Every structure is written in structure tokens, then in C-alpha cells.
Amino acid sequence: MSTDVSSGYIPDHPPLPTGHTPVLLREVLAWLNVRPGGRYLDATYGGGGHTRAILEASAPDGRVLALDADPAAVTRAREHVDRAAGRLLARQGNFAGLAALARAASFDPVDGILMDLGVSSFQLDEADRGFSFRLPSPLDMRFDPRDGLSARDVVNDWAEADLVRILFSYGEEPQARRIVRAIVEARRQAPIDTTDRLAGLVERAIGGRRGRAIHPATRTFQALRIAVNRELESLEAGLAAAVELLAPEGRLVVISFHSLEDRIVKRFMRTEATDCICPPETPVCVCGHRARLRVLTSKPVRATEAERDANPRSRSARLRAAERLA
């Protein structure tokens, strides 16, 4: 069976409706060490591109449990289940709870776990989700629209200092103070409840597009999305749960798009690859920590130039991989 993963098209699988090009596809299959008969957990199904390739590479009897927090992604995954001849399971849920979700599905231990973080093109393109400043829509941005605070709640209710903090740290927005001042002034007049109103006021606060590589509201929207979905907290919890679920020699592969996420992944893998984590001045180990992972990627794996050209989203992708020790 031939597998042309580079194009994202797997010949023996009917093409799925995919509005999302999976990043680092070849690299994911290699670092996950996908093989026939293996059991894999795709913690971020999205448009299913990685799941589809994992199913193909693990044929004829490999199995995948696909998770996503977004019910719309899980609906896509369920359509995919129907075509996967018993080899795919789909569940809705946050990967922070992935160990419990997998155990409830009697899908443990697993040979590989993939986390491809952030937002999918489907979510950016759905007009009513509020992820994109390019589409006028209610300001929501929740991966699971039934759960937690929306971006509207955050923008209208959070204290000025908290908004500045998230724009600085999650958005790396140097003009955070100026933007937040404009938000606070505008919300005094009327609640900011649409993407276009927010994008417009950011643009007026820090100037238009001229001379910038990205839209002036890009960083603000990114910061809000990370805060709304508690993405960094979920990542920490998901990584810890992943180690619990991996079989000996099972692989953990994480693709991040933001330096804060990558730092969390790097530190987590390093710590889990270290026996004692007592402060260096401690004369005798008191922590009792034992390494559970071996780090496989000393530096993050980046997209090739060809992939960067073909898929601009891949430019900021960083993949890190580790293996569960026996």
C-alpha cells in the first residue's frame, strides 16, 4: 500500500472534507513511530489530517482514539469513524483529562500520543465562532462553546490589569497598555460583543496595517483565545496525563505554535527525563523523582522550506518528541 503523506492525500482512504492542512505530517508519523497494530491517541483531532495518516500508517489493525474539545471537530471525527472499519474511536473532551477519557474508552495504555496545539482552519473559518478578526461574528473563541467564559466575558468583565497581563504574555503584544486602555474606554459606552468591533478599536488604538507583517489585532486575538481556553493550563495537565497513559517505549509528540507553549513542553520533557529534581544545593536527594521519559529531540523539529512555502501556518510550528521509559 503506498502512502503519499507529503501531499496529505492518502490514496487508500476516501478523502475527508478537510479545510485544514496538517503540519509536519511526515515528521509526526516518524517521531510517533507509527506501526501496524499500534494504539494511538490523537488528542487534537481538528480536521483529522494527522489521524487519517496515523490510521493509514498503522494499517491493517492499528487503532486511534481521537479527542477534541470542540464538538464540531468531534462531529467530523464521528463521520470519519464510520469509514474507519472499527479502527477509530472519537470522544469530545479537553485533553487535560485525556487519561480518564482513554481509560473510560478502555483505550490504555497507548503506543503514541499526539498533541497538535492551537486552533484549526475550520475554527478560523467558521463565521459564528469568533476566532478570526477577518469575519464579523459574536466574540466567543471557546473550543467548546458550551463551557467556560467567552472572549466577550473576558473583554468586558476582566480588570484592566488582567487584560494587560494576558496581552503582554500570551499575545507578546508590546502595545498592550494602549490597546487595553481603548478597550476599557469603549466598554464603558457599550459592551464589546463582536470581533469586528474589537478589531476596529485595536486598529484605531495602535494604528492600521501599514508597515506591519501582521494585522494589528492578531496578537490581541491570540492572547484572548489562549486565556479563554486556558490553553497553557490544559497543556500542563495534558502532558502530565499523557505520561501516565503511555506504554513503555510509547511516544509523546507535541506540536506547538507559540513560544510559551514550546517552553512548557521543553521543560516538562526535560524534567520528566531527569531522576532527581531537587535544587542543586540539596546535599542528598529528597524528592525521590524518577525519570519516566527519554527526550528524543534535543532541538525542536521545524517545517522544511517546501512545507513553509506551501503552508504558512507551519512556519511557527515546533515539534518535540519523547519516549516513555520502561
Ligand X SMILES: C[S@@+](CC[C@H](N)C(=O)[O-])C[C@H]1O[C@@H](n2cnc3c(N)ncnc32)[C@H](O)[C@@H]1O
Strands (E), the chain: 39-42, 63-68, 88-92, 110-116, 246-256, 293-295, 318-324
DSSP structural state of residue 22:
P
Measure the CA angle with vertex 141, ends 138 and 142; round to 5°: 120
Nearest distance, CB of residue 73 and ligand X, angstroms:
4
Residue nearest ligand X, Cβ-based:
46
Q: Does 62 bind ligand X (CB under 6 A)?
A: no
HSE, CB side, 13 Å, CA atoms: give it for residue 120. Answer: 25
Q: Does 73 bind ligand X (CB under 6 A)?
A: yes
The Cα 150–Cα 152 span in angstroms is 5
The Cα 199–Cα 195 span in angstroms is 6
Strands (E), 161-283: 246-256
The residue from 24, 29, 41, 69 that contacts ligand X (CB under 6 A) is: 69
What would the grid cell of residue 180 be? 487595553
Nearer to ligand X, 149 or 291 (CB): 149
Nearest distance, CB of residue 326 and ligand X, angstroms:
28
Sketch the per residue contact string, 210 through 239, with ligand X: x for CB under 6 A, - otherwise.
------------------------x-----
Q: Does 132 bind ligand X (CB under 6 A)?
A: no
Amino acid letter for position 243: V
Q: Does 48 bind ligand X (CB under 6 A)?
A: yes
Question: Given the rule CB under 6 A, which of 90-98, 217-225, 270-278, 302-310 is the region that contacts ligand X?
Answer: 90-98
CB atoms < 10 A from the CB of 247, how many?
A: 15
The Cα 199–Cα 24 span in angstroms is 31
Q: Does 102 bind ligand X (CB under 6 A)?
A: no
Nearest distance, CB of residue 262 and ligand X, angstroms:
14
What would the grid cell of residue 83 be? 469509514
Q: State how far Cα 322 lies from the chain centre.
A: 17
Q: Does 256 bind ligand X (CB under 6 A)?
A: no
Nearer to ligand X, 16 or 277 (CB): 16
Nearer to ligand X, 33 or 44 (CB): 44
Nearest distance, CB of residue 140 and ligand X, angstroms:
13
**Which residues of this protein are in contact with ligand X, per CB under 6 A?**
20, 22, 44, 46-50, 67-70, 73, 94-96, 116, 118, 120, 143, 234
